[in-house]
Amino acid sequence: MNYRFRYAPSPTGVLHVGNARTAIFNWLLARHYSSKLILRIEDTDKERSTPESEKAIIEDLKWLGLDWDEGPDVGGDCGPYRQSQRSSLYEEHQKLLLEKKAAYECFCTPDELKKTREELLSLGKMPKYNGKCLNLSPKHIQELKDQKKPFVIRFYVKPGPPVVVDDIVRGTVKFEREVIGDFVIFRSDGGPTYQLACVVDDSLMKITHVIRGDDHLSNTPKQILMNDAFGFTSPKFGHLPMVLGADRKKLSKRHGACSVGEYKQQGYVSSAFLNFLVLLGWSCETSEEILNTERLIKEFSEDRLSSSPSIFETNKLDWMNGQYIRQLSLEEFYRLERPFLEKDLALSQVDESWLKQVLKVLQTSVAKLTDVTDQLQIFLKDKFLIEDDVIKETAKDLDFKKVLIALSKILEDNPDIDFDDLKKQLQNETSLKGKKLFHPLRYAMTGRKNGPELALVMPLLPKNELKLRVDKLLKETS
């Protein structure tokens, strides 16, 4: 199919989870339909846009596994792909609209605009521009320009029937022209606004589908009117509902992490994170949830996009991430873990094959890559710690003490005993079983109440370490 989708971030900050989802949906549609994805950088806001932000957004998109067919870093026939490099195109188009009388110069000062706005609001009316400059004569306009009066260019929303948006996600949405109001397309500093730049670029870049967050829905009738005025065919629009936090409010900083970079740092696997984000607003026909990228590309289509907001559930993300971790090969798991481990450990001093065996054990239980650094403490002599709860519980249970004393003795007599024999002897000598036996054994071996299987942990502990740990717990609870 010859569709052309686009993702058009403003480089004014980090890549927010909601925007990442928009990027992913466009990418999946482009790949599903063997079509094109265009990355366009919308940096018309000179004050807030930074090259650092652009770089970070691109890095996060790549981390998610996305790629694009045209964009500032890969080129293409419709470039440049940064709006700051397309000024002359916007000027040409602004002139076209002025010539067609579809736009006009407005000399109203910010104070005047504020006053009319307040007046309208006090009358309970929609605040919109009152059209004062719509019919200025060319002579008057020239005079004001000669006086160097600052002005903006407004698009003229002519009276007419409602503007109809045939939205891929939401169905038909109608907008009355009266409520739209003549909006600014060129600022007094001579730069285009988002509305103009977006319409010109979507047309010149031959975009066929605009899929974006529904915070842009109110821009759509304006963009359709501009397309009509230029004589451009409007692309198809689809507006994705918001991503909400667990409290059903728009996902934001208040909910903790909300940018892709933060999730990366917290130890989520990119393919798991992508899978999780896709399910925020789309579902597979078979209701399956774990879908690798290949499957997602195959199954994804606009028909199953949801029109109601979705909720970002961190528990579900953790569960899904754990599932992805279990599916990794040990080598891949090790590769992904390295940067996290390096923060805490001098990896060059750790035996690699031992470390891989430990990782193999932890891979069966951790939810996030960062959980490994914590759980690794169980296996390291100098990082071993006993949790307070473990001490409290052991101190008040005589059976636990009995197990520990027997354990210490068994290890003293036979320092090389294996886990199965240890278990048997301990059972024989204490006549205890189940929790009474395994809890103190776990507490002594790991210092924690929960963790990986003991049979797997024991062979990976340094020699004589278990005996030292048993004695330490006995000492701290006596």
Q: For ligand GLU, which is the closer residue by CB, 49 or 321?
A: 49
Q: For ligand GLU, which is the closer residue by CB, 165 or 272?
A: 165
CB of 22 to ligand GLU, least distance (A): 7
Cα torsion 191, 242, 210, 67: sign? positive
Q: Which residues are registered as beta bridge partners of 95?
A: none
CB of 57 to ligand GLU, least distance (A): 9
Residue that has been written with the tokens 């008057």 in this structure? 140
CB of 9 to ligand GLU, least distance (A): 5
Structural contact between residues 441 and 469, judged by C-beta atoms closer than 8 angstroms: no
Task: Give the gyration radius of the chain's Cα atoms.
Answer: 31
Instruction: Count Cα neighbours of 9 within 13 Å in the Cβ-side half-sphere.
Output: 30
CB of 211 to ligand GLU, least distance (A): 8
Catalytic residue (choose from 253, 383, 424, 435) = 253
Q: For ligand GLU, which is the closer residue by CB, 240 or 426?
A: 240
For residues 277-336, which are near ligand GLU according to CB under 6 A?
Answer: none
* Binder among 32, 128, 187, 216 for ligand GLU (CB under 6 A): 216
Nearest to 70 by CA among 32, 16, 26: 26
Q: For ligand GLU, which is the closer residue by CB, 132 or 216?
A: 216
CB of 112 to ligand GLU, least distance (A): 29
d(CA 357, CA 352) in angstroms, rounded, equals 9
How far does CA 168 lie from the centroid of its chain?
A: 23
How far does CA 33 lie from the centroid of its chain?
A: 24
Backbone angles phi, psi at 168, to 5 degrees: -60, -35
Q: Which residues are registered as beta bridge partners of 239?
A: 212
Q: For ligand GLU, which is the closer residue by CB, 10 or 321?
A: 10
Q: Is 134 exposed, middle or buried (0-12, 13-18, 19+ CB in 10 A)?
A: middle
Instruction: Tell me the H-state helices in 215-345.
Output: 220-230, 260-265, 270-278, 293-299, 314-327, 330-344
* Count of residues that bind ligand GLU according to CB under 6 A: 7
Q: For ligand GLU, which is the closer residue by CB, 31 or 212?
A: 212
* Binder among 17, 38, 102, 198 for ligand GLU (CB under 6 A): 198
Q: Among this protein's residues, is 472 annotated catalytic?
A: no
Q: For ligand GLU, which is the closer residue by CB, 36 or 423?
A: 36
Residue that has been written with the tokens 């709860």 in this structure? 389
d(CA 454, CA 438) in angstroms, rounded, equals 9
How far does CA 275 lie from the centroid of its chain?
A: 11
- Cα angle value 158/162/167 (rounded, 5°): 125
CB of 8 to ligand GLU, least distance (A): 4
Residue that has been written with the tokens 């451009």 in this structure? 232
Nearest to 133 by CA among 110, 152, 158: 152
Structural contact between residues 64 and 270, judged by C-beta atoms closer than 8 angstroms: yes
For residues 1-60, which are near ligand GLU according to CB under 6 A?
Answer: 8-10, 42
CB of 224 to ligand GLU, least distance (A): 13
Structural contact between residues 42 and 9, judged by C-beta atoms closer than 8 angstroms: yes
Assess 390 for contact with ligand GLU (CB under 6 A): no
Structure tokens at 351: 């035996």
Q: For ligand GLU, which is the closer residue by CB, 40 or 154?
A: 40
CB of 322 to ligand GLU, least distance (A): 32
DSSP code of 134?
T
Using CB under 6 A as the criterion, what x/- string covers residues 340-379 for binding ligand GLU? ----------------------------------------
Binding site for ligand GLU (CB under 6 A): 8-10, 42, 198, 212, 216
Active site residues: 253
